[in-house]
Amino acid sequence: MGSIDFVTLFFMVAAVIIFIQLRSVLGRRTGNEKPPVDPFSPADTERQPQATGKVVQLPRRDGMPNPTEERYKAVNAFAPADSEINAQLRRIVDADAEFDPKEFVAGARMAYEMIVAAFAEGDRKTLKSLLSREVYEGFDAAISEREKRGETVKSTLVGVDKADIAQAEMRGSEAHLTLRIVSHLISATYDKAGAVIDGDAEAVSEVKDIWTFARDTRSRDPNWKLIATESEG
Report whether pLDDT(64) > 70.
Answer: no
Q: For residue 189, give its domain range.
A: 84-231
Average pLDDT, stretch 48-65?
A: 43
Is residue 195 a part of any domain in this protein? yes
Q: What is the CATH number of the domain that holds 221?
A: 3.10.450.240
- Tell me what the pLDDT averaged over the chain comes to: 82
Q: Please name the residue ranges forming H helices in the chain.
A: 2-26, 42-47, 67-71, 73-78, 84-95, 101-121, 124-130, 133-148
Asked, for residue 162, whether it belongs to a domain, the answer is yes
What's the pLDDT at 232?
A: 85
For residue 5, what pLDDT band results from cuts at 50, 70 and 90?
A: low
| Structural domain count, the chain | 1
Does 8 reside within a domain? no
* pLDDT score recorded for residue 21: 53
How much is the pLDDT for 26?
A: 44
Query: Crossing angle of helices 133-148/101-121, nearest 10°?
Result: 20
Task: Tell me if 65 is assigned to some domain.
Answer: no
Q: Is residue 201 one of the residues assigned to a domain? A: yes
- Residue 143: inside a domain, yes or no? yes
Q: How confident is the model at residue 100 (pLDDT cuts 50, 70, 90)?
A: very high
pLDDT for residue 17: 54
Domain contains 74: no
Instruction: Give buried/exposed letters for 25-45 (b at 16+ CB in 10 A, else e).
Output: eeeeeeeeeeeeeeeeeeeee
Tell whether 63 is covered by a domain.
no
